[in-house]
Chains A and B, each alone.
Chain A
Amino acid sequence: MILKKLWEKAVLFFKDIQIVNRENATDIIEFEVEELENIFALLLFGSFIGMPSPPVYISFELLPVMENEVNLMFERVNLSYDALARLTNVLGEP
């Protein structure tokens, strides 16, 4: 009986850990995705802020379907987000 309870507790414990880990893992990927999306937008529309870019006409062909990324990009520029702080947040303290 005691053994069974212990076993159940152990299972629960590991489940919790799994959930925690899983959430942590998605956080990391989410962060990465957001970064990648930002880079993708910057890659295309960097000419607005003086970065080397693909030919303008390619950027313009894609601009109409990239509302989210472009808004994200401007948000970044406007709030000048502290990217490093967010990174340590996501990764947790060492």
Chain B
Amino acid sequence: MKILFFVGKGGVGKSTLSALYAVKLARRGKKVFLNSIDPAHNLHDIFCINLSSTPREIIPGLAAVETDLNIWVKKYLKETERELKSVYKYQEAFNLHKYFKTLKYAPGIEEYAVFLALEDTVKESKTEDIDFLIFDTPPTALTLKFFALPSVSLIWLKELKIFRQTILDKKEIITKIKSGTRGGLIEKDPVLKRIDTLIARYEEFFSVLKAPHISSVFVVLNPFKLSRSESLLIQQELTNLGINIPYVILNKYTGDDEFMHSLKKEFKDSIIGIMETQNGEIEGVETLDSLELPVGIEQL
């Protein structure tokens, strides 16, 4: 399975291009799942049909959804609150309910919802033998936070693990001195176990994001200054995370060779595709069928 992420500044054509690739790949006989995780969905406008969190077939081989991130936030908070309530029944100082009421606005929760939604979709798509899983992404800031989430989490978890191990080592010494036997605390510690589980989970997801034969980022931009500088920011952030950008699509191209020239220099390691400005609205499967894929990125 291949996973494609269409990223870029607002309005550059992420949704249009992800829909175009989805349709074209399905027409070539691939099994495609198109998922909009942008809270301001517009896939339904492009296909001119209603979409929801339940997959809907658009053409044979292509199903699409518009993921509701709020549902994921709610579901996550509800489950966590329930689990914690059962553990901390007697801890009245712990004003859980009040805390949870404001938690949906806490930093990190939004990208965590994106993470949960994606993790779930990836898992589902694997079991359903999807060939191409295509994501139409939210605005750049949130998308970058999402891409950074596994590595930020791993930094914290690894520090916490070392800390926890230090505590357990010392506890082990105490047990040994007092009773003369080993306590096996390190093997039994539930906290350390859970930290390890989490590390494994984020590492697995991160390795999927970083694997060039699985994940491909498509940076979409228009021949304008602002969308170019945002693309460079995306490039910088993703490079820092060790995620590369195999494809750049210059959309709404009008023949500005100078722009193309500097773009080639800035994205030396990426394949640059060109999509010209089309006449009229790009909507409906028929219109998408009539278009060609961006020049230079016809094969994936």
Provide the residues of chain A in CB contact with B178, threshold 8 Å.
26
Provide the residues of chain B in CB contact with A37, threshold 8 Å.
167
A67 at the interface (CB under 8 A from B): yes
Decide: A33 and B103 in contact? CB cutoff 8 A. no
Main secondary structure of the interface of A (DSSP, over half): helix
B295 at the interface (CB under 8 A from A): no
Decide: A55 and B84 in contact? CB cutoff 8 A. no
Instruction: Give the residue of B88, B109, B166, B171 whose beta carbon is less than 8 angstroms from that of A56.
Output: B109
Provide the residues of chain A in CB contact with B164, threshold 8 Å.
40
Provide the residues of chain B in CB contact with A78, threshold 8 Å.
93
Interface residues of A in 33-80 (CB under 8 A from B): 33, 36-37, 39-40, 43-44, 47-48, 54-58, 60-67, 69-71, 74, 77-78
Query: In the complex, what residue of chain A is closest to B115 when comparing beta carbons?
Result: A57
CA distance A77 to B106 in the complex (A): 23
Main secondary structure of the interface of B (DSSP, over half): helix
A15 at the interface (CB under 8 A from B): no
Provide the residues of chain B in CB contact with A70, threshold 8 Å.
88, 91, 94
Nearest CB on B from A64, distance (A): 5
Decide: B99 and A48 in contact? CB cutoff 8 A. yes
Interface residues of B in 79-121 (CB under 8 A from A): 80, 83-84, 87-88, 91, 93-94, 99, 103, 106-109, 112
Query: In the complex, what residue of chain B is closest to A77 when comparing beta carbons?
Result: B93
Decide: B177 and A33 in contact? CB cutoff 8 A. no
User: How many residues on B have C-beta within 8 angstroms of the other chain's C-beta atoms?
Assistant: 38
Interface residues of B in 169-205 (CB under 8 A from A): 170-171, 173-174, 177-178, 190-191, 193-195, 198
Decide: A74 and B91 in contact? CB cutoff 8 A. yes
Provide the residues of chain A in CB contact with B109, threshold 8 Å.
56-57
Decide: A26 and B174 in contact? CB cutoff 8 A. yes
A30 at the interface (CB under 8 A from B): yes
Listed residue (A25, A60, A67) with the most chain B CB atoms within 10 angstroms of its CB: A60
A16 at the interface (CB under 8 A from B): no
CA distance A77 to B91 in the complex (A): 13
Using C-beta atoms within 8 Å of the partner chain, give the interface range for chain A: 20 to 34
Decide: B191 and A66 in contact? CB cutoff 8 A. yes
Decide: A63 and B91 in contact? CB cutoff 8 A. no
Decide: B157 and A65 in contact? CB cutoff 8 A. no
CA distance A67 to B160 in the complex (A): 17
Decide: B177 and A36 in contact? CB cutoff 8 A. no
Nearest CB on A from B212, distance (A): 27
Decide: A33 and B160 in contact? CB cutoff 8 A. no
B152 at the interface (CB under 8 A from A): yes
Provide the residues of chain A in CB contact with B88, threshold 8 Å.
67, 70
Inter-chain pairs besides A30-B174, A55-B149, A78-B93, 17 sampled, C-beta below 8 Å = A26-B177, A33-B171, A40-B160, A44-B160, A47-B106, A54-B153, A55-B153, A55-B156, A56-B109, A57-B109, A57-B153, A58-B198, A62-B198, A63-B87, A64-B83, A65-B191, A65-B194
